[in-house]
Amino acid sequence: MRRPAASLACLLLALSAHPAGARSEGQGRQESAQVAQSALPKVRLIATGGTISNRRGGRLTADELIGSIPDLEQVARAEAEQFANTSSSSLTLQQWLELARRINALFAGDADLAGIVVTSGTDTLEETAYFLNLTVKSDKPVVVVGSMRNPSEVGYEGAANLLDAFRTAADPQSRNQGVLVVLNDEINAAREVTKTDALRLHTFGTRGYGILGVVDNDTVVYFRRVVKRHTRDSEFDVSTLEHLPRVDIVMVYQGASGDGIKALVDQGARGIVIASAGAGATSGTQSDGIQYALEKGVFVVIGTRTGAGRIAARARGPAAGRQPARRASWDFWIASEDLAPLKARILLMLALTRTSDGAEIQRMFMEY
């Protein structure tokens, strides 16, 4: 009778031990997964709104955007932060300053942070990206991302773009590339990128120079690097700025009047960017308006409306072959180099927070 009792006791002991063993094995797998997750780069999402979050019935929050990204846990340790939730064109210059300061504070306060992803509406995305390119003080990647379709539309590409953005921000190759714009599996530099179509998904591109790289299924690939000054090497400091000086853009068109330029000067513009025809031509009486601005000590930057091409510093007249009527006006005459008018405005605003020396501002246009 003892032997069956002993066998029964052993059986009960084995049965009672089996669930505990199963729990230990499950706990081991969970712990391994946690260790693997902790080894991934930490990337923070800062959401500002835009079409990428503009679902019918209410905008998606930063946490909801994170939750929509497939397989994100295999790419990065994701954090979410809601900075704003509005259209990109509704962001103010004050919010630009606050966003740059917030990003700088995050990088300064968390050495473990590998990169930051910023969501934006696409309409003015290139402007926000370039402002950050000049004001973020870190070589760690900042990736600006958006989508052309909203979450309620068929073919919404926001989740895919977000995943690409996180992969780019987490990739060590993205360091010291300046602020990046990632949509449709392509990586563009903030300085060069532009929105080329009002509706098509494949809208962001870099005319003339081409994309920086791509986000493929297996890896992030870069084909070239950014050579202009940016981010950590930038001389612009927004840490104590309360506002940005007023700079306006004027388009050149056939028979245009210079009255609009004069009005902007009289309303307090400290700088005016001319989106000229071709390589510097104006039309109508715009040259008179430009001369008025120069004589009032307002900086005038000549760019081109063509979308590509360089306005060289040596060709600084209001039209081909022309010069300001007074030599002193040269002090306020700036050539944009190859910087598009939208970006030239941003650089001039920041330049005016540092200096009123025309030669120094021209240097900045050549370096940035």
What are the catalytic residues? 51
Q: How far does CA 44 lie from the centroid of its chain?
A: 14
By DSSP bridging, strand 186-189 and strand 180-183 are antiparallel
Instruction: Say if residues 318 and 287 touch (Cβ distance below 8 Å).
Output: yes
Instruction: Say if residues 18 and 124 touch (Cβ distance below 8 Å).
Output: no
Amino acid identity of residue 77, one-letter, is: R
Q: How many residues does the chain have?
A: 368
Longest dimension (CA), the chain: 121
By CB atoms closer than 10 A (0-12, 13-18, 19+), residue 282 is buried
Amino acid identity of residue 309, one-letter, is: G
How far CA 103 is from CA of 83, 150, 189, 196, 272, in Å, comes to 11, 26, 18, 28, 29
Question: CA 85, CA 119: separation in Å to the nearest integer?
Answer: 10
- What's the token pair of residue 139? 């070589």
Question: CA 179, CA 176: separation in Å to the nearest integer?
Answer: 9
How far CA 123 is from CA of 25, 89, 95, 152, 184, in Å, comes to 52, 7, 16, 19, 16
